[in-house]
Structure 1
Amino acid sequence: MRNSLLLAVFACSGAAHASEDIADKYPNSLLYDMPVEVIPGVFSAIGATAPPTYENSGHNNNLSFIITGDGVVVVNGGAAYSLAKALHDEIRAITDQPVKLVFNENGQGHAVLGNNYWTEQGVPVVAHQEAADVVEEYGGSILDGMKRYNRDKAEGTKVQGPTVTFEDEYIVDMGNFHIEARYLGPAHSPGDIVIWLPEQSLVIAGDMAFHERMLPIFEDTYTADWLETWDTEFEPLGATYVIPGHGHPTNMDQVRRYTKGYLEYLRGEVGELIENGGGLAEAYYVDQSPYTNLDTFEELATKNAGRVFEQMEFE
């Protein structure tokens, strides 16, 4: 298989090497980078560790797929019709097995806006019910936002929700793989799911886990709930290999450091501020220097601190 990478490289616990300053690592495709084989049969096209832009075509998350021996399972519909097609072109270059199933990791644009490409191919799209609700309620505005940065690259994209939904788990046995799509509990955004391959000890974590870039805290991101889900459901998976929602494939130690570790650190800083009588204006300036190495730090750090303050005021 082309681009097969040594697991030792992905699993290393060294410093992050991504850079949000690289506009495009794969100029011959709308994909930000070409797919790499993480473990045998499991591939991921690693997105930019930057906000979505015209230059990266909105490919700023990880688009993964599993070649099972009896068909291909894709994880994430992609940020646009054209981006989904570009991913499909890469899959076809690797295997003649047809795509039989697509999962959306949540209801965000980079997970769902390529759905109508896949449904045109007759492929079922599966997501958690909460993700489907997000697409139904906000799909139009999500699409409009993508059109503003992606311009002509948005051509052909229409709002298409998942065609199959579930509440707790959706299990697939296909070819050589036992695949478990699981909703573990509240995390980064409504309907976040993980794709767990227990026989390979690999989890495609979606936005449950971040690596190499700072995670964003949205209005509906409840950090205390995310930490509880992490401790009670995600960590006990005991995954050897982790494909995070953003950043290169790695191991549990690294995503713990940049996801759980960051959330606990920020909540600690904000909690101390609240105990000392500080207000929202001061919260924006709490010390986050241990995480300045992360991409999107400049874009997200102050916003994150403000939202955590607003949450913790009422906890």
Structure 2
Amino acid sequence: MIAAALTVLATTAQAEDAPDKYPGSVLYSAPVEVAPGIYSAIGATQPPTYENAGHNNNLSFIVTSDGVAVVNGGASWKLAEALHAEIRKITDQPVRLVINENGQGHSMLGNSYWAAQGVPSLAHEDAARAFLDSEGPGGLESLRSYARENAEGTSIVEPAETFSDRKDIQMGDTRIEVLHLGPAHSPGDTQVWLPDSKVLIAGDIAFSERMPPIFQGTCTPCWIETFETKLEPLDPRIIVPGHGAPTDLETVRHATVGYLTDLRAKIAEHLDNGGDLSQAYYVDQSQWSWMDTFEELATKNAGVVFSEMEFE
């Protein structure tokens, strides 16, 4: 039954022919129920554009008997406002908390809307620091450039609360574990684990349909280790990745650990053969060309991993 439901969700999320699958809203797509009481508005798996209004990550929420917890503030005031309108269609419960999955603009810039509604936000301390230092100002500038009028109202608002390793929340009869499993995609990567339903809102530690971006400063062996030693033992039934349709552990393991391991092996071979950076960009990644954003990220990723591995 779970597999069938995930297939339906994946089919819905992969209908990429239309630039916007929810023209009645600034959201790229309407929220879908991933599991009882757990919803996600699945963003585009392409880069942020005017057409998708920056909704290119997943905006999730958990409806409990004593309020709603939102996962990701959204890339803008208007996206957060649109998500709030969808929540109100589903429940009369008030939004009590916003959890930011990392320090990037599309996770935190919408905090400005939520703060204006009196809703506090929670982030890992490293994510909050990255947002205030660079990701927030850079993200806001980028948002204003591509989103134009859809950037109106958005400002930089720091999270109201931070945590270091984990934050356990009891909201009504629902247990919510906010986790920092370890170093992965970006500083302060945060996972939201719902142990009773075994659903993991994984954020950017897990990718499925979209190629994982690798940043300067990303530790790829650390990412692999965190995934294998901390995420996999949770044994989630359903994973909501940071980008793309809800899916299962095997799928995100292949697209995340499989990709990172393969790219590191290709770069290691390149280094062993005396290859330099200019050639490293073109190591063979063709087996991953099915992933969205392959054209934008593959060569960049190879260059970053070369620089990381050159002196390992």
TM-score (norm: length of structure 1): 0.95
Is residue 2:3 matched to residue 1:8? yes
Instruction: Give the match's secondary structure for 1:92.
Output: helix
Q: Does 2:295 align with 1:298?
A: yes
Q: How large is the RMSD of aligned CA atoms in angstroms?
A: 1.6
Q: Indicate the percent of aligned positions where both proteins have the same amino acid.
A: 57
Match of 2:164 in 1: 167
Whether 1:261 and 2:258 are equivalent positions in the alignment is yes
Q: How does 1:1-315 map to 2 (within 5 A)?
A: 7-12=2-7, 18=14, 22-138=18-134, 139-315=136-312
Q: Letter of the 2:75 partner, please give it.
A: A
1:10–1:250 contact (8 Å) kept in structure 2: no
Preserved CA contact (<8 Å) 1:19 1:295 = no
CA distance in 2, matches of 1:169, 1:310: 32
Unaligned runs of 5+ in 2: none
Contact 1:205/1:245 (CA < 8 Å) preserved in 2? yes
C-alpha displacement of 1:20: 5.4
Supply the distance in 1 between the matched residues of 2:22 and 2:291 (Cα, whole angstroms).
Answer: 22
> Hey, what's the Cα distance between the residues in 2 that align with 1:242 and 1:12?
13
Aligned positions, number: 310
Contact preservation (8 Å) 1:184, 1:193: yes
Contact 1:67 1:97 in 2 (8 A): yes
CA distance in 2, matches of 1:56, 1:286: 32
Structure 1 pair 282/10, CA: closer, same or farther in 2 (3 Å)? farther
* Offset at residue 79 of structure 1 (A): 0.2
For residues 122-148 of structure 1, give each alpha carbon's deviation from its aligned partner in whole angstroms, at most 9, with x where no partner exists: 111000000110122112222111111
Offset, 1:19: 5.9
Equivalence for 1:3? none
Partners of 2:104 and 2:75 lie apart in 1 by 9
Note the C-alpha offset of 1:7.
3.2
Runs of 4+ in 1 over 6 A off after TM superposition: none
- Cα deviation for residue 175 of structure 1 reads 1.7
Q: Distance in 2 between matches of 1:48 and 1:141?
A: 21
Task: Tell me, in whole angstroms, the C-alpha distance in 1 between the residues paired with 2:5 and 2:311.
Answer: 40
Amino acid at match of 1:249: P
Measure how far apart 1:70 and its partner are: 1.0
CA contact (8 A) 1:44 1:63 kept: yes
Structure 1 unaligned spans of 5+: 1-5
Instruction: State the secondary structure of the residue aligned to 1:213.
Output: coil
CA contact (8 A) 1:19 1:49 kept: no
Q: In structure 1, the residue corresponding to 2:122 is in which secondary structure?
A: strand
TM score, norm. by length of structure 2: 0.96
